Amino acid sequence: MRRIAMIGAGGINSWFAKHLRDIITMFDKDDIIYVKIFDDDIVEEKNLLRGNQNFKIKDLMEKKAEVLAKNYSFKFENVLITEKNINVLDSFDNMILGVDNHKTRRLLYEYCLKKGIYLLDLRAQGTQIAFYVLDKNKTMDYYDKTQFSNKDVMERKGSCQLTNDIENDHVENGNKIIAYFGAYGIFMKRLRNEEPSTKEWKIAY
């Protein structure tokens, strides 16, 4: 049984959930794949702008994790993962990270390195998208130096879309692109028991 935790249910993971459900259905793997979505955020009007996130008007003010879980027959917990409750992830062997802040991202990197858990980190902001597969052969010191050394970035939290893009109605589709690529291009290899790439990949368009 593969146990998959999706951390975050916003711009990226709202679409990743759809693609993961399609993959599970396509290969008839419901009996060997268990998915739970973790997020405490609610659906807001801004999330619906130009189909930015995978929600509908009827979902407004509902919990994102709960809406996605019901739509795609997954489990959910309406919680924000922190140091205090991270033990709720102990039974999972796969993490799909789609969050909007580096503090949570670093916490999950450290946790998954210690536990030997597969982690796929999907990122999008404006016209920049990227994915990172946690490399178990690297140390947290390596990731602190390469990913988490900028103090300003570590304190920042916000939408995957740049504020200026939202204000000027210039919402990009980076979150949809990286969600699709992450599901079909990267995570499917994991589900097939193939060795997934740990190469870091990013693009600006």
Query: Can you give the pLDDT at residue 86?
Result: 98
- Report how far apart the first and last C-alpha atoms of the chain are (Å, whole number): 38
Beta-bridged to residue 76, according to DSSP, are 37
Query: Can you give the pLDDT at residue 203?
Result: 80
Q: Consecutive 10-residue runs of the chain (205 residues): their mean pLDDT?
A: 96 97 96 97 92 95 98 97 97 96 95 97 87 94 93 68 67 88 93 79 74
| Angle at CA of residue 204, ends 202 and 205, nearest 5° | 135
DSSP 44: -
CATH of the domain at 50: 3.40.50.720
User: Residue 185 is part of which domain span?
Assistant: 2-204
- What pTM was estimated for this model as a whole? 0.93
Tally Cβ neighbours within 10 Å of residue 195.
7
The total number of structural domains that make up the chain: 1
Contact by Cβ (8 Å): 95, 133: no
